[in-house]
Amino acid sequence: MSEPGVYEARLSTLLASAGLKPLSEAQLSQFAVYLNLLLKWNARLNLTAIRDSDGILSRHFVECIACAQSLPLGITSLLDLGSGAGFPGVPIAICRPDIAITLAESQNKKSAFLQEVVRSLAISACVWCGRAESLQAQYDCVTLRAVDRMALAIQVAAERAKPGGWLAPMSTHADLPSLQVAVGPGFQWQDPIPLPASEDRVLALARMTSSAT
């Protein structure tokens, strides 16, 4: 546990350095609580390979906040497929409280962690403990980050997007062409958005076209 305000101040500095919009005091406080939960649970669950607070702040939080701030307006429902430690779904829920988030995670221990995060932060999110393929609902947007077998996962994501909805994978320039092929012709891809602190990582946004409905 850090001294009060340390995580908040560090995150604010990192966001300013990355050229991102500042967060409110309440949002910064939520991120501090989230970070403490990550550090506590990571000791026994291996939620993320990055185990130090500054690495989580600079690598995970800033990148996911950049994603949240880049998502199109008008999205009211979002599925975070293979949420794991909650990236990017939990940061999106903190930054965009207007969006109802579903955190889909099939591993019971990780989904238990996500339930604790949702409870502790009082965010507009629910946890689906199961495979995303078994979900019946469709969403305005589906996000993916650091998911195993990404090319297969994005096909599942495409099936969970509403007509006219968005896919928002966080990937690399090198891997993006294979994701575009996997999705097929039913989505119109925008120019990838560079993510902070990386020369290669991007947020790729694709909207379902009328031909996919």
Which residue in 111, 101, 92, 93 sits closest to 45, CA to CA?
A: 111
Alpha carbons 211 and 213: distance in angstroms, whole number: 6
Q: Say how far apart CA 99 and CA 70 lie, in whole Å.
A: 14
* Domain layout of the chain by residue ranges: 6-212
Q: Which pLDDT belongs to residue 213?
A: 45
Tokens of 99: 């969006």
User: What DSSP line would sit under 87-113, residue for residue?
Assistant: TTHHHHHHH-TTSEEEEE--SHHHHHH
Tell me the pLDDT of the chain (213 aa) as tens digits.
555 699 999 999 999 999 999 999 999 999 999 999 999 999 888 888 888 999 999 999 999 999 999 999 999 999 999 999 999 999 999 999 999 999 999 999 999 999 999 999 999 999 999 988 899 999 999 999 988 889 999 999 999 999 999 999 999 999 999 999 999 999 999 999 999 988 899 999 999 995 544
The conformation of residue 43, written as its DSSP 8-state character, comes to H
* Pair type for strands 193-194 and 201-203: antiparallel
State the fold for domain 6-212: Rossmann fold (3.40.50)
Amino acid at 49: A
Q: Residue 1 has what pLDDT?
A: 52
Please indicate, yes or no, whether the overall pTM of this predicted structure exceeds 0.75: yes
Neighbours of 50 (CB within 10 A): 16
Q: How far apart are CA 54 and CA 22, in angstroms?
A: 18
**Rg for the chain (alpha carbons), in Å?**
16
Q: Which of 176, 212, 208, 180 is nearest to 193 (CA)?
A: 176
